[in-house]
Amino acid sequence: MGYKVVVAGATGNVGREMLNILAEREFPVDEIVALASRKSLGTEVSFGDKTLKCKDLDTFDFTGWDIALFAIGSDATKIYAPKAAGAGCIVIDNSSLYRYDPDVPLIVPEVNAHAIMGYAKKNIIANPNCSTAQMVVALKPLHDRATIKRVVVATYQSVSGAGKEGMDELWNQTKAIYNPTDNVPPSKFSKQIAFNVIPHIDVFLDSGETKEEWKMVAETKKILDPKIKVTATCVRVPVFVGHSEAINIETEEFLDWQEAQDILREAPGIMLVDKRESGGYITPIECVGEFATYVSRVRQDSTIENGLSLWCVSDNLRKGAALNAVQIAELLGQKVLKKG
């Protein structure tokens, strides 16, 4: 016996990837439904070798469904997640709406699987921001060994993190550069993204940081350890898929870079590719479609007593969103629903 699974936002970047990953990982599905907005009614999406026709989320009855994987943005989530949860269907949500709610667990299975039972308060589990998810997977084993005090991170985030429209804007602007009669002004992004980098993701806060930067701070504390200090600079780059991060770490105890490599090599969810030679590291293009969070360039930071620097790359649509959501569904199956 398997699960009755809803995928809401099935026409989007994350929704399509959730369907792919449910099929790839052979999640025990008895019945599955793909939902999107009314305008996508009947749109076909793939689930393994099957094709599903999208239904309208607005008129869908969640009664009798076990798990709903949501990737529809915060505004729509505010309307439909309580509806699904109230009907007894456990929601795993990709938006930021519930991430900071103390009554909703924020889960990265490699890091804080134990928090899953907190789902029961609202019947909702939150999935973290894409840049946080891959970072905490890399930080967790190092924190367990040497206690991380402070993290300084700069991100290089792909346009798919801004949804389908973000990818279209990079594609169309890039073509327009070679065909100057076309003019594609910035719309999804604040400035031209083709052949450029933009140090601005999400809205500005009074502190001068952006909301994306604040999310990395707040989510790392909630998932990994409230005592860890984090400062982030989040940058959008003209890459379609795959987020990269340059991470500097200060620990309580000294951790030699070779021991850090050994720890990371054994850690769940991580693939260490670190050859200290030309090409001996991972770039975003190589992580597309992969499950792993890749770590490269592990080295000592000798400007502080106990410092390490490393490079971390992952598919933002997978570990940063869809894979993590499906891993949460798997955890929910093992710990709570126990079917399949």
Instruction: Indicate which single residue of 2, 28, 118, 163 sits in contact with ligand NAP (rule: CB under 6 A).
Output: 163
- Catalytic site residue from 130, 234, 287, 312: 130
- Give the whole-angstrom CA distance, residue 134 versus residue 317: 11
| Residue of 225, 227, 242 whose CA lies nearest to 289 | 242
- The pattern of x and - marking residues 5 through 24 that bind ligand NAP according to CB under 6 A reads ----xxxxxxx---------
Q: Which is nearer to ligand NAP, 241 or 264 (CB)?
A: 241
| Residue of 10, 14, 93 whose CA lies nearest to 53 | 10
- Contact between 314 and ligand NAP by CB under 6 A: the answer reads no
**Are 215 and 132 spatial neighbours (Cβ–Cβ below 8 Å)?**
yes
- Contact between 321 and ligand NAP by CB under 6 A: the answer reads yes
- Give the whole-angstrom CA distance, residue 201 versus residue 190: 9
- Contact between 39 and ligand NAP by CB under 6 A: the answer reads yes
- Give the whole-angstrom CA distance, residue 332 versus residue 291: 19
Instruction: Indicate which single residue of 22, 62, 92, 95 sits in contact with ligand NAP (rule: CB under 6 A).
Output: 95
Buried/exposed 175-196: b ≥16 CB within 10 Å, e otherwise: ebeeeeeeebeeebbeebbbee
Task: Tell me if residue 243 is catalytic.
Answer: yes
Range 129-148, binding ligand NAP (CB under 6 A): 130
Q: How far is the CB of 46 from ligand NAP (least distance, A)?
A: 14
User: Using alpha carbons only, what angle is made at residue 111 by residues 106 and 113, rounded to the nearest 5 degrees?
Assistant: 65
Total residues contacting ligand NAP by CB under 6 A comes to 28
Q: How far is the CB of 295 from ligand NAP (least distance, A)?
A: 19
Map residue 3 onto helix, strand or coil.
strand
Applying CB under 6 A, the span of 4-12, 82-90, 250-258, 292-300 interacting with ligand NAP comes to 4-12
- Give the whole-angstrom CA distance, residue 46 versus residue 156: 30
- List CB contacts of 81: < 8 A, sequence separation 6 or more: 70, 91, 93, 97, 98, 124
Applying CB under 6 A, the span of 33-41, 206-214, 266-274, 280-288 interacting with ligand NAP comes to 33-41
- Contact between 293 and ligand NAP by CB under 6 A: the answer reads no
Range 180-209, binding ligand NAP (CB under 6 A): none
Q: How far is the CB of 195 from ligand NAP (least distance, A)?
A: 22
Dihedral of the alpha carbons of 64, 67, 69, 75, in degrees to the nearest 10: 60
- Contact between 239 and ligand NAP by CB under 6 A: the answer reads no
Instruction: Indicate which single residue of 24, 37, 46, 288 sits in contact with ligand NAP (rule: CB under 6 A).
Output: 37
- Contact between 76 and ligand NAP by CB under 6 A: the answer reads yes
Instruction: Show the tokens assigned to 139.
Output: 């930080």
Instruction: Indicate which single residue of 242, 269, 284, 320 sits in contact with ligand NAP (rule: CB under 6 A).
Output: 320
- Contact between 160 and ligand NAP by CB under 6 A: the answer reads yes
Q: At what angle do helices 130-146 and 257-266 cross, to 10 degrees?
A: 120
CA 147 distance to own-chain centroid: 24
Q: If you count them, how many residues does the chain have? A: 340
Instruction: Indicate which single residue of 50, 78, 121, 164 sits in contact with ligand NAP (rule: CB under 6 A).
Output: 164
Instruction: Indicate which single residue of 20, 40, 155, 220 sits in contact with ligand NAP (rule: CB under 6 A).
Output: 40
Q: Which residues bind ligand NAP (CB under 6 A)?
A: 9-15, 36-37, 39-40, 57, 71-74, 76, 94-95, 130, 160-161, 163-164, 316-317, 320-321
Catalytic residues: 130, 243
